[in-house]
Structure 1
Amino acid sequence: MSQFNDRTEIATIRESAPTLSAAEVRAFLLQHPDFIAADADLIAALLPARDDGANVVDMQQFVIGKLQRQVRTLRDIQSDLIEASSLNSLAREQVHAAAIAMLDARSFEAFVAYVTAPEGLAQTLGLGAAAICVEAAHDFAAIENVRILELGGVSRMMGGDVGHRLVANVQGSHGLYGALAGGVQSEALVRLDFSRVAPPGLLALGGASAEQFHPDQAADLLEFLGRIVERCIRLWLDLPPQK
């Protein structure tokens, strides 16, 4: 539609050309910078010969320069996409390796130890620390290496009834990560719904760098990891499903 309007305007200019000044033509072209660039025939007619003299503006070089800049921009975009794809592939490999390790655990205690030990899930994913938390009353018999939260604690930590929360630039909580809290600089919290007869829990992943987790990050792999943890705990404790 804009090109049609431009053609209409240039037709008007041509009809009234005897009354137009060079400044008016220049003003029109400046207001419609794509008018010439979008017209191959017009560009070809305007391109000067190479030996026209030093005072002739070389439109060919202008067009070539513009195309070269566009190519460089496209190459930069392609490079960024390839890099992002490589990082995503690496993350998938790490999460899949962690899922297999959790499914291979020979006991509930071995499963919990893998998720919470520095040489377990944290090492597999390149994290500073990892923890499992469960809401429970004060008289609950604690499970080794499982953090206990007061009732309603999951929603409070997550900031509402949401599936995950990603935060950059944090100071690790000793209540979650214990002695490993000092190595936590970012954080991913994933809600765990084990069963319709059990309170919710939390998978806490502490990033080793300030931007390892951040709010703009895709969370599909983290959600997948949370579902694996839910199902492993449900199976080991013989709990009915959530629904």
Structure 2
Amino acid sequence: MSSSPELDETLRQAILARPDAILEDPDVMQALVAANERAMGSNIVDLRAIAMERLETRLGRLEDTHRSVIAAAYDNLAGTNQIHRAILRLLEPGDFESFLRNLRENVADILCVDAVTLVLESRPDPERDEGRLADVLMLADPGTCAGYIAGGRGGTPRQVTLRAPAGSDALPDGAIHGQTTQRIRSEACLILDLGKDHLPGMLVLGASDAELFSPDQGTDLLGFFTGVFERVLRRWLA
């Protein structure tokens, strides 16, 4: 007579009825493999079990990678839809004032930002209003946009710069983000090419979320948004 404890008949019948349930449960299978190794003794090496363990580790890594790729794809799709919705909003206004108001309200909401500032460089003019117009438009001297992005370091700025907000000798404190300056933790600076007859411009998006705009993020979608935005703006500046 065997000295091994008998399996409960109810449990035995459940296993015989659904053996696939055990095969599909990794915890149960690991427990069975461990029990088998103990039964064989410490002087026997089960190479099959070792191979299975390594395969399980590789499978776990592949599943983690798969989940990461799927999550990144969903994030990218959501970001693409967000940019497309913002672009459609840009195309709606019928006059420049409505364009600025739409930019400050609807486009800002779609992009989940707390501040939007459009900086247009222009030639020095004693009669020019140096303040912000419509809470979103700011006129500035030539070189202001590059100076703000470079922060005194010089060089040609990229089309899209993502970073924590930085001060600049070219602009007084609070000039870019206005009353929301203290809340801004990250920003996207988009350099605008407005054509050969115009000085460059800059669209600055400010967010209270420090992780919304980070230097390690991709800029393809914002680059596309910048290209559309500058073409729409050229129409109003023509």
The verdict on a shared fold, with TM-score over 0.5 as the criterion, is: yes
Structure-1 residue corresponding to 2:140: 149
Quote the sequence identity (%): 29
The residue correspondences of 1:1-243 to structure 2 (distance < 5 A) are: 52-115=40-103, 117=104, 119-139=105-125, 141-142=128-129, 143-144=133-134, 145-159=136-150, 160-161=155-156, 162-168=158-164, 170=165, 174-238=174-238
Task: Label 1:183 to 1:114 Cα distance change in 2 as closer, same or farther (>3 A).
Answer: farther
- Per the TM alignment, residue 171 of structure 1 is displaced from its structure 2 partner at its CA by 6.6
Q: Which runs of structure 1 show a deviation greater than 4 angstroms over 4 or more consecutive aligned residues?
A: 49-52
- Per the TM alignment, residue 95 of structure 1 is displaced from its structure 2 partner at its CA by 0.6
- Per the TM alignment, residue 149 of structure 1 is displaced from its structure 2 partner at its CA by 2.4
Alpha-carbon separation, structure 2, partners of 1:157 and 1:69: 50
Aligned residues: 187
Q: Structure 1: which 5+ residue stretches go unaligned?
A: 1-48, 239-243
- Per the TM alignment, residue 76 of structure 1 is displaced from its structure 2 partner at its CA by 0.6
Task: Label 1:88 to 1:187 Cα distance change in 2 as closer, same or farther (>3 A).
Answer: same
- Per the TM alignment, residue 150 of structure 1 is displaced from its structure 2 partner at its CA by 2.1
- Per the TM alignment, residue 72 of structure 1 is displaced from its structure 2 partner at its CA by 0.6
Bigger drift between 55-64 and 65-74 goes to 55-64
TM-score by length of structure 1 reads: 0.70
- Per the TM alignment, residue 74 of structure 1 is displaced from its structure 2 partner at its CA by 0.6
Q: Which amino acid aligns with 1:163?
A: Q
Alpha-carbon separation, structure 1, partners of 2:189 and 2:237: 23
Larger RCO (CA under 8 A, 6+ residues apart): 2
- Per the TM alignment, residue 148 of structure 1 is displaced from its structure 2 partner at its CA by 2.1
- Per the TM alignment, residue 52 of structure 1 is displaced from its structure 2 partner at its CA by 5.0
Alpha-carbon separation, structure 1, partners of 2:92 and 2:128: 26
- Per the TM alignment, residue 109 of structure 1 is displaced from its structure 2 partner at its CA by 0.9
Alpha-carbon separation, structure 2, partners of 1:237 and 1:151: 17
- Per the TM alignment, residue 129 of structure 1 is displaced from its structure 2 partner at its CA by 1.5
Task: Label 1:89 to 1:148 Cα distance change in 2 as closer, same or farther (>3 A).
Answer: same
Alpha-carbon separation, structure 2, partners of 1:76 and 1:59: 26
TM-score by length of structure 2 reads: 0.72
